Amino acid sequence: MSVANRLSINFDRLKSNINAISQIGRSQDHGIYRQAFTENDLQARGWLSQKMEEAGLHIEVDGAANIHGYLGDRSKPSVVVGSHIDSVPAAGPLDGTLGVLTGLECLQRIKEEGLELGYPLELVSFSDEEGRFGGLLGSQSFVGDINPQRIYNSRDLNGVSLVDAMKACGYDAIQALDARRNPRSVKSYLELHIEQGPVLDSLDVPIGVVSHITGLFKWSIRLIGRPDHAGTTPMPMRADALAGLAEFSMEIPRVLEENGTERSVATIGKVDLFPGTANTVPGKVEFSLDCRDTDSKILQDLMDAFRKALSAIARRRDLMFEFDVLSEVDPVACDDSIQAIIRKASESVGCNHHSMPSGAAHDAQIVARIAPVGMIFVPSKAGRSHSSAEWTDWEDIETGANVALQSLLQMAEARI
């Protein structure tokens, strides 16, 4: 067996790092509050930078406040590994943080062994993946998908601007425009992440090899009828907006079945009724529609089908229908050869793997615009995530980190 094949991560160190960072931003309700560019995020950044320094990485912070740690000869393009350490409010301890800490552990082990690499390795911790200011801000800046308008207009839910939040942390937001990387400086990208769904846990398989990251469209839809008196308006004479929504929600499975794939999902997650009083027929309903699939042609078909279903319902029920497109994200395919490397790495550490799409958005899908990407999933207990119930067995974390290590060695063409 070669040195590289025998190389494994230092699990005790990884475990103690996970436990240490999960104290930063932990609150009374046991949830973690580490939204981007808050006091807690700043503290976590300081902690991470210190660990990266201890690991012997050369640290640089780019204009979007992404933290990079380099290992090896920088004249060649890097094999980048990373994720994010910011969190949603009331988050669990893992999410993107696990990807950053396993990446750190891999680079630290490779450095300790003094292995010679064909390409340098680079750890990156991306800013605001979770969306205090819209999400994926760091990775979008990294690939150059950012402009002054987005920088100046971004505000969080409390009206705090990105510019002010970054300033309070000592960063100049407009410098995010300088974070763009020359695509030639990035050889490939690997991200380990918790699955955030129930599939691997239910199959009892420790490694997910991500084939695609789903694309999505998000609409804000309004059905407009008439707000009439709930006592005096006979049933056949009503234009009840909520009844239209109810019918539409029941049609979602049919629309997906006829126009989608087994991977298609659609969700109405937010509903506002107007005027919202018990004795008035709802004259207007405004609701969200979030629809995802791994194929952009299918997403297009689903948009058409949903539009048709809504206008048919509106016509039948004497309602008006309008909608705004809140976002559209194209699906991304993970690189075939990196998927093969991850499968081989799983076999070399003696564990089962399962090929699957990612239903959630990740920095990897943004980085895919400039370099081939691969993603490793580890199981989420009962599929729980974005909650303090989020957890992955230590055993699976160790397995995932070792698969990441073996994959990185392959991707960086370590000489052994």
Which spans of this chain sit near Zn ion (rule: CB under 5 A)? 95-96
Q: Is the dihedral of CA 220, 223, 226, 230 positive or negative?
A: negative
CB of 342 or CB of 360, closer to Zn ion: 360
Task: Find the shortest distance in angstroms from Cβ 401 to Zn ion.
Answer: 17
DSSP assignment of 365-396: HHHTTTS-EEEEEEPPGGG--SSTT----HHH
CB of 96 or CB of 379, closer to Zn ion: 96
Task: Find the shortest distance in angstroms from Cβ 201 to Zn ion.
Answer: 17
Q: How many CB atoms lie within 10 A of CB 319?
A: 24
Task: Find the shortest distance in angstroms from Cβ 193 to Zn ion.
Answer: 6
Burial class (CB within 10 angstroms; exposed 0-12, middle 13-18, buried 19+) of 324: exposed
Task: Find the shortest distance in angstroms from Cβ 96 to Zn ion.
Answer: 4
CA–CA separation, 9 and 401 (whole Å): 7
CB of 96 or CB of 227, closer to Zn ion: 96
CA–CA separation, 249 and 400 (whole Å): 39
CB of 100 or CB of 313, closer to Zn ion: 100
CB of 213 or CB of 305, closer to Zn ion: 213
Nearest-CB residue to Zn ion? 96
Pairing of strands 121-126, 67-71: antiparallel
CB of 95 or CB of 398, closer to Zn ion: 95
Task: Find the shortest distance in angstroms from Cβ 24 to Zn ion.
Answer: 16
Task: Find the shortest distance in angstroms from Cβ 354 to Zn ion.
Answer: 20
Rounded to whole angstroms, what are the CA distances from 314 to 120, 305, 317, 326? 58, 14, 5, 21
CB of 179 or CB of 194, closer to Zn ion: 194
Task: Find the shortest distance in angstroms from Cβ 82 to Zn ion.
Answer: 11
Query: What are 244's two structure tokens?
Result: 């239209």
Q: How many residues does the chain have?
A: 416
DSSP assignment of 29-45: TS-B---TTSHHHHHHH
CB of 143 or CB of 349, closer to Zn ion: 143
Q: How many CB atoms lie within 10 A of CB 305?
A: 18
Task: Find the shortest distance in angstroms from Cβ 309 to Zn ion.
Answer: 32
Residue 144: alpha-carbon gap to chain centroid: 18
CB of 118 or CB of 131, closer to Zn ion: 131
CA–CA separation, 180 and 271 (whole Å): 38
- Whether residue 223 contacts residue 319, with contact meaning beta carbons closer than 8 Å, is answered with yes
Task: Find the shortest distance in angstroms from Cβ 361 to Zn ion.
Answer: 8
CB of 314 or CB of 332, closer to Zn ion: 332
- Whether residue 79 contacts residue 107, with contact meaning beta carbons closer than 8 Å, is answered with no
Q: How many CB atoms lie within 10 A of CB 250?
A: 9
- Whether residue 50 contacts residue 42, with contact meaning beta carbons closer than 8 Å, is answered with no
* Helices within 260-393 (DSSP H only): 296-316, 336-348, 363-367
Task: Find the shortest distance in angstroms from Cβ 84 to Zn ion.
Answer: 6
Q: Which of helix, strand or coil describes residue 399?
A: helix
Which backbone phi and psi does 126 adopt, to 5 degrees? -80, 145
Task: Find the shortest distance in angstroms from Cβ 273 to Zn ion.
Answer: 32
CB of 238 or CB of 292, closer to Zn ion: 292
DSSP assignment of 166-205: HHHTT--GGGGGGGPPPGGGEEEEEEEEE--SSHHHHHT-
Q: How many CB atoms lie within 10 A of CB 199?
A: 17
